[in-house]
Amino acid sequence: METVIHTVIAQMQPILSCDQLKQLSEVLSHALAPESETRSEGMNLLSLFLTAKEVEGCSPKTIAYYESTIRHMNRAIGKPYTTIGSDDLRRYLADYEITRKASKVTIDNIRRILSSFFSWLEDEDYIVKSPVRRIRRVKTAVIAKEVLTDEELEALRDFCTSPRDLALVDMLASTGMRVGELVRLNIEDVDLQERECIVTGKGNKQRPVYFDARTKRHLQLYIESRQDTNPALFVSLRGETPERISICGVEHRVRTLGKRAGIRRVHPHKFRRTLATHAIDKGMPIEQVQRLLGHAKIDTTMHYAMVNQSNVKASHRRYLE
C-alpha cells in the first residue's frame, strides 16, 4: 500500500503544491487502509481529543457530551474523521434537525462541538483545514426566559417546611451559584462572619460567592439544627444517616416548593438567572456580574441576564428625551 501511495505522490509532485500533496497522501492512506485500521485510528483521534479537553479542565459531564456527539456524527456519516468534508457535515446537521425535530439552539451546539474537534485535528496537523470553518453559526431566536419575582421568592420561602429548605432557597437566590457548586459545598467552606463561601465551578476553578444577612441567619439556624457529623453543608432529610444532597435532590425539592407556591417551572438554574438579571437591572457592571457567576466569557453572562424593559424605558426618557 505504501509503495502505491509513494508512486502516486511522486507522479503528482510537478502538479500539486505541498499542502495538496499532503492532503492527497492522507486521502490515499485512508482509502487504501484496512477498515479495522481506519476505525482504530478514528477511535485514537477521538480519545486523544477527549484527553486534551480533560487537561483543559472540562468536567466529566462535558467530556461525555463531546464524545457522544462526535461518535453519533461519525456513525451517521460513515467516514474517517480526517476525510470528512464541509458538505458531509452540512447534510448531517440538516438530517439531524429534520429527523430529531431539533431546535436551532441544539443544532448550533452540535456545530460548536464539531468545530472544537476539527479545529483540534487541524492544530495537531491531522488535517489541513477544519471542514467546520465553512459552516456558519446557526442563527437562533432570542427567547426571553422567565425569572423569579420578589413576590415569588417570598412565596417559596413561605412554603419551606424545614430550616434546610429555607437555607437552600436563600443560598440559591442570594449567591446565584450553580446547583453543582451548591451540592459540593462543605460546612467549612462557609464563612458566616464575612457572609461568603468558596465554591468550585467548571474546570475545577474556585471563586468566592457572597450571600446576604437573611441567608446568614437561616444558615446559622440550619447548621445549629444539625445533629449529624456529615461535612456537607446540605444533606438529605431522609434516612437515619444523612447523606450529601444530590443535584437531583435539589431539583426535586425546589420543584416541589414551586408547585406548592403555584409558581411555574421552578428549578435551580432559574435562581441563577434571576440574580444575574436583578444585578444588571440595579446597575452592577457586567464584568462584575461575570465574576460573580464564574463565567469564562462575558457573552455567556449576557445570555443569562435580561435587562428589565421598564428600565430601558426609563433610561430612554432620561437620556434621549
The catalytic site residues sit at: 178, 202, 269, 272, 295, 304
Count CA atoms closer than 13 A to 168's CA, side-chain side: 31
DSSP-assigned beta bridge partners for residue 186: 232
Give Dmax (Cα) for the chain.
82
Closest-CA residue to 177 (of 202, 146, 213): 202
How many whole angstroms separate alpha carbon 14 and alpha carbon 293?
57
Q: Residue with C-alpha cell 447534510?
A: 91
Joined together, the cell numbers standing for residue 173 give 437566590
How many whole angstroms separate alpha carbon 193 and alpha carbon 191?
6
Query: Please, what is the end-to-end C-alpha distance for the chain in angstroms?
Result: 77
3-class DSSP state of 124 = coil
Strand order in the sheet with 190-191: 190-191, 196-200, 206-210
3-class DSSP state of 232 = strand
Joined together, the cell numbers standing for residue 64 give 461525555
How many whole angstroms separate alpha carbon 131 and alpha carbon 80?
13
How many whole angstroms separate alpha carbon 74 and alpha carbon 234?
42
Cβ distance 315 to 226 under 8 Å? Answer: no
Closest-CA residue to 258 (of 270, 248, 247): 270
